[in-house]
Amino acid sequence: MKLETYQQPYSVKRLYFLVRNRLLDDVSPILIVAAAFLALNLLFLLSAHQYSPGTVGGWALIIAVGGIFLAGNGFAKMHDGKAGTEWLLLPASTLEKYTAALVMYLIVYPVFAALLAFLESLICSGIGYLMHKSSLWIFNPFTAIIWENYLNYAFFVVLALAGSARFRKFALGKTAAIMVSFMLLASLLLVLGALLLDSEGRQILYNGIKGHSVEIQRPLTVSTESSLKILGNLFLAGTGLFALVYGYALVREKEARDEVQ
Amino acid sequence: MLEIKNLNFGYGKQQLFKQLSLSVQPGQIVGLLGLNGAGKTSLLKLIAGALYPQGGEITLYGRSTGHRHPDVLADIYFVPEDPWGPALTPEAWLDRFGVFRPAMNRSLFYSLLEEFQVDKGKLISRMSYGQRKKCALAQAMASGSRLILLDEPTNGLDIPSKAQFRRSLSMLDLQETIIVISTHQARDLETVLDPILIIHEGALLCKFPAAVVREQFSVRRVETLEGLPVVYAEQGALGYQALLADPGAGADLEMLFTAAIHNPEAFRKALEKQGENIPQEKL
């Protein structure tokens, strides 16, 4: 790398090397899973009389789960007693290291995995067509359902990365547990808020229900479809943004405190 | 130039460094000595930027190391006592991580691997502790960084490898480089370390040139200590092994270190008496 490049506080070239290194680290598990998936499909293809290759949504879901799982281990090296110090002291800025993880799991991985899915579906569908005369179906990553759900995938990736930056072990499980607890709390607050907006609801809240269960049968004005959609989007955007900033702050503040002395 | 000013650092309630200050000039191979738990590794990690100081400042050629700016990080190479062994060959390591260091000298890296007899086609993760360490030392020395921090570099090396390591230091251009070596194996490295820094109880106990060890102290076996300029003595079956503040046959760095830790005041006085006036602000 040229001297001028490494004097820059943010360098695209360093970002490229960081993303390349991440891809090289992750390529083996991705290929192993892809090979296992292909083997299962072929087994199914050979043993069944009819072959159904599945749906775009199904294949995309598998890709998304893989990406979230990888992102959930995205900063595992940073917590490692030996590799962690090396990771922290690698001559690249924190922002570059964090962006590299985002680029990897939001862009590079989905493209790479989609390409693998395309090839696998081509192989399986081709063999299925030759063997069972089943319809020729190929995974098309440009299908609308993929683009419509990309932001949901990005939301979970950002959460998984923040969890990976926060937790040393079982990062994905712990992040999921926190999210579930957070959503339960948010739901509780939403119900409480909805009751406060309703006159009968307020009465129940202030006077108590004296041992009887009360059912409010009329629809609450806040629960219209558009309100729920706005609330949902606000939740996704707010939580995603928070996770993004929180994850970065954790990486920025990380120190090599393990195995000291 | 490496400069540490009023450094404060600790773990929880345990304060490790209190207002520690020191400076190191380029071209020096500094020996950092201290008891177990004195904070040698922590100090190296603080200098490298892997730990954040709780007070004070650490600068390398005028730039703070704690900000982890890429070009400052590229100017520092830290080799821990037990280096990380990735599942990569040394060659692959160079392609993956060497690219982040613009001054990396690839031919020197290969020469050092040859000198250390490290197989460049073998995965680092499958190497023995000593081989892994030699590979990490080659990475550090070829990095082109102006500050190289080595934590116990001779631990785990066999006897010929220790000599190889000492020889390899001569392969470096030390004009602009500062090498800080933290070690308990003072005898392995006493011919290359200059100056010597001893840290004790959160502060710099003393800093003295290597010539002091050779020229201004002597170790003698004596029956009685009376009338002798004794700095430190160990009693044995046949009398005393005494470190004397007296130019003579030269002393041993390990004995000097023990003397400094055992009775810091007496050691400081002996140093001053021998003409090595250590400024108070550096203590």
pLDDT recorded at residue B27: 93
pLDDT recorded at residue A106: 97
- Indicate yes or no: CB of B70 within 8 angstroms of CB of A6: yes
Nearest to B51 among A24, A82, A256 (CB): A256
The DSSP symbol for A104 reads I
Residue B232 predicted with pLDDT over 90: no
Residue type, B99: V
- Indicate yes or no: CB of B50 within 8 angstroms of CB of A90: no
A94 in contact with B, Cβ within 8 Å? yes
- Indicate yes or no: CB of B45 within 8 angstroms of CB of A260: yes
How far is it, in rounded angstroms, from Cα B93 to Cα B99? 9
pLDDT recorded at residue A131: 83
Tell me which residues of chain B have a C-beta less than 8 Å from any C-beta of chain A.
11, 36-37, 39-42, 45, 48-52, 68-71, 73-74, 76, 78, 80, 82-86, 96-97, 99-102
| Closest CA in chain A for residue B98 | A1
How large is the average pLDDT for residues B214-226? 83
How far is it, in rounded angstroms, from Cα B122 to Cα A229? 56
Q: Which of B66-80, B169-183, B202-216 has the lowest mean pLDDT?
A: B202-216
pLDDT recorded at residue A161: 97
Is A189 domain-assigned?
no
In this predicted model, what pLDDT tens digit does every residue of A181-194 receive, in sequence order? 988 898 888 788 87
pLDDT recorded at residue A3: 52
A83 in contact with B, Cβ within 8 Å? yes
Of A163, A181, A145, A167, the closest CA to residue A105 belongs to A163
How large is the average pLDDT for residues B251-260? 86
- pTM for the model: 0.87
Residue A208 predicted with pLDDT over 90: no
CB contact at 8 A, B240 and B222? yes
How far is it, in rounded angstroms, from Cα B253 to Cα B213? 6
Candidates B45, B97, B106, B184: best to mutate against A (most CBs of A within 10 A) is B45
pLDDT recorded at residue B281: 39
How large is the average pLDDT for residues B168-190? 88
User: What total of structural domains would you count in chain A?
Assistant: 1
Percent of chain A's residues with pLDDT above 70: 89
pLDDT recorded at residue A261: 38
Q: What is the DSSP string of A190-226?
A: HHHHHHHHSHHHHHHHHH--TT------SPPGGGSHH
| Closest CA in chain B for residue A261 | B41
Q: ipTM of this predicted complex?
A: 0.88
Residue A51 predicted with pLDDT over 80: no
- Indicate yes or no: CB of A6 within 8 angstroms of CB of B102: yes
How large is the average pLDDT for residues B163-192? 88
A260 in contact with B, Cβ within 8 Å? yes
On average, the pLDDT of chain A sits at 87
How large is the average pLDDT for residues A107-122? 96
pLDDT recorded at residue A61: 96
Q: Which of A51-65, A102-116, A128-142, B35-49 has the lowest mean pLDDT?
A: A128-142
What count of Cα atoms within 13 Å lies in the side-chain half-sphere of residue A241?
Answer: 6
Is A72 domain-assigned?
yes
- Indicate yes or no: CB of B39 within 8 angstroms of CB of A86: no
A27 in contact with B, Cβ within 8 Å? no
Q: Which of A65-69, A196-200, A219-223, B277-281 has the lowest mean pLDDT?
A: B277-281
Tell me the two tokens of residue A8: 């820059």
- Indicate yes or no: CB of A92 within 8 angstroms of CB of B39: no
On average, the pLDDT of chain B sits at 89
Candidates A85, A96, A255: best to mutate against B (most CBs of B within 10 A) is A85
How many pairs of residues across A and B have Cβ atoms under 8 Å apart?
A: 88
pLDDT recorded at residue B266: 82
pLDDT recorded at residue A258: 61
CA distances from B103 to A192, B95, B143, B178 (A): 62, 14, 6, 15
- Indicate yes or no: CB of A85 within 8 angstroms of CB of B42: no
| Closest CA in chain B for residue A90 | B73
Residue B56 predicted with pLDDT over 80: yes
How far is it, in rounded angstroms, from Cα B223 to Cα B26? 44
Nearest to B84 among A5, A82, A93 (CB): A82
- How would residue A6 be classed by pLDDT, with cut points 50, 70 and 90? low
| Closest CA in chain B for residue A24 | B96
Q: Taking the CB of residue B142, how many other CB atoms lie within 10 A of it?
A: 25
- Indicate yes or no: CB of B71 within 8 angstroms of CB of A91: yes
Q: Which of A23-27, B42-46, B167-171 has the lowest mean pLDDT?
A: B167-171
A255 in contact with B, Cβ within 8 Å? yes
pLDDT recorded at residue B211: 83
Closest Cα in chain B, distance from residue A21 (Å): 6
Residue B201 predicted with pLDDT over 80: yes
Write out the H or E segment, with its range, that includes residue B234: strand B230-236
Residue A227 predicted with pLDDT over 80: no
- How would residue A206 be classed by pLDDT, with cut points 50, 70 and 90? confident
Write out the H or E segment, with its range, that includes residue B198: strand B196-200
pLDDT recorded at residue B225: 83
Percent of chain A's residues with pLDDT above 90: 54
| Domain regions of chain B by residue span | 2-207, 210-282
- Indicate yes or no: CB of B50 within 8 angstroms of CB of A5: no
Residue B277 predicted with pLDDT over 50: no
How far is it, in rounded angstroms, from Cα A182 to Cα A176? 10
Percent of chain B's residues with pLDDT above 90: 59
Closest Cα in chain A, distance from residue B238 (Å): 37
How far is it, in rounded angstroms, from Cα B8 to Cα A123? 63
Nearest to B96 among A21, A253, A257 (CB): A21
Q: Which of A7-11, A86-90, B86-90, B108-112 has the lowest mean pLDDT?
A: A7-11
A7 in contact with B, Cβ within 8 Å? yes
How large is the average pLDDT for residues B231-259? 83
- Indicate yes or no: CB of B50 within 8 angstroms of CB of A256: yes
How large is the average pLDDT for residues A2-16? 76
Q: Which of A81-85, B235-239, B249-253 has the lowest mean pLDDT?
A: B249-253
∠ CA B4-B10-B11, rounded to 5°: 145
Q: Could you list the residue range(s) of the whole structural domain that residue A63 is in? A: 3-169+224-253
pLDDT recorded at residue B283: 37
How far is it, in rounded angstroms, from Cα A182 to Cα A171? 16
pLDDT recorded at residue A223: 55
pLDDT recorded at residue B218: 85
- Indicate yes or no: CB of B41 within 8 angstroms of CB of A14: no
How far is it, in rounded angstroms, from Cα A15 to Cα A11? 6
Q: B2-207 maps to which CATH number?
A: 3.40.50.300
In this predicted model, what pLDDT tens digit does every residue of A22-50 receive, in sequence order? 999 999 999 999 999 999 988 988 887 77
More confident residue, B180 or B236: B180
A23 in contact with B, Cβ within 8 Å? no
